[in-house]
Amino acid sequence: MLTYFQRLGVISLAMLERLGRASVFLMRILQHIPAVLLRFRLLISQIYSVGVLSFSLILLSGLFVGMVLGLQGYYTLSDFGAAESLGVVVAASLVRELGPVVAALLFAGRAGSALTAEIGLMKATEQLSGMEMMAVDPVARIITPRFLSGVISMPLLASVFSAVGIIGGYFIGVGMLGIDEGAYWSQMQAKIDFHEDIMNGLIKSVVFGVVVTWIAVFEGYDAIPTSEGVSLATTRTVVHSAFAILIIDFILTALMFGDI
């Protein structure tokens, strides 16, 4: 029994120590942000690899999630004779929840894992060490542009996800199931509030962008510089990001929409 508590203590201390290192690392990143903003070309190239290359995945996933929402929403709403409200249901679900959350989960799987693997391999092949010896701080030159590009890309990708999802819902609801086109759009326009729904969704996606990219770059930078170490770090990025997204989403939803 004592051994059990001892092990629990060791694990908790190790987790706290790691969280502390990750926080110091984040502070170092934040310090370099003004300098990176001035190196616009560096930032643009990272936005391309982190954001633009995730675009097709987000586009396709958003479309199908919207189509599924259209189908499920229609079957449920038609039971209550409220099928005309499908536009509101699809838009609210996407803008408030599914857009930021699913886009962030996909982003963690596509861009987050790639960031960790890239940075971890750079560490394993001594590229980061080499940079330090060339008097170039890798946190400023490699990590911060990647972090910033993730934070910028995430809300844009989540917005695209929601927009394409709404179109997917339209294809199913209006195109296939015969809901009135005017009802689909006008009810959405009337019920979706810019501050309450769109802004809150956007805030969520910014928070997810910060958290997922922070986890991804830290895991890469902190990876054990072996092939096994990089593989473990990549897995951790996806798992920790998914947990973080879902837990933070609950907290943010409770704060934004709930009366807790």
Partner 1 sequence: MIKSVLTNNNTLIKIRDVHFSRGSKEIFKGIDMDIQRGKVTAIMGPSGTGKTTLLKLIGGQLKPSRGTVELDGQNIHQLKNKSLYQLRKKMGMLFQSGALLTDISVFDNVAFPLREHTNLPESMIRSLVLMKLHAVGLRGARDLMPSELSGGMARRVALARAIALDPMMIMYDEPFTGQDPISMGVLVQLIRLLNDALGLTSIVVSHDVRETTAIADFVYLVSGGKVVGSGTPEQLAESDSEWAQQFLQGMPDGPVPFHYAAAPYTQDLIGL
**Contact footprint for partner 1 (CB under 8 A):** 125-127, 129-130, 132-137, 141
Take residue 111 and report the two structure tokens written for it.
């861009």
Q: How far apart are CA 189 and CA 187, in angstroms?
A: 5
* Among the listed residues 129, 98, 100, 117, the one whose alpha carbon sits nearest the alpha carbon of residue 49: 117
**49 or 186, CB closer to partner 1?**
49
Take residue 183 and report the two structure tokens written for it.
């009802």
Query: Taking a C-beta distance cutoff of 8 angstroms, is the pair 151, 206 a contact?
Result: yes
Q: How far is the CB of 32 from partner 1 (least distance, A)?
A: 12
Q: How far apart are CA 198 and CA 253, in angstroms?
A: 13
Take residue 39 and report the two structure tokens written for it.
């190196």
**28 or 191, CB closer to partner 1?**
28
**109 or 225, CB closer to partner 1?**
225
**Rg from Cα positions in the chain:** 21
Q: How far is the CB of 181 from partner 1 (least distance, A)?
A: 48
Q: How far is the CB of 141 from partner 1 (least distance, A)?
A: 7
**127 or 253, CB closer to partner 1?**
127
Q: How far is the CB of 30 from partner 1 (least distance, A)?
A: 16
For residue 136, the SS3 value is coil
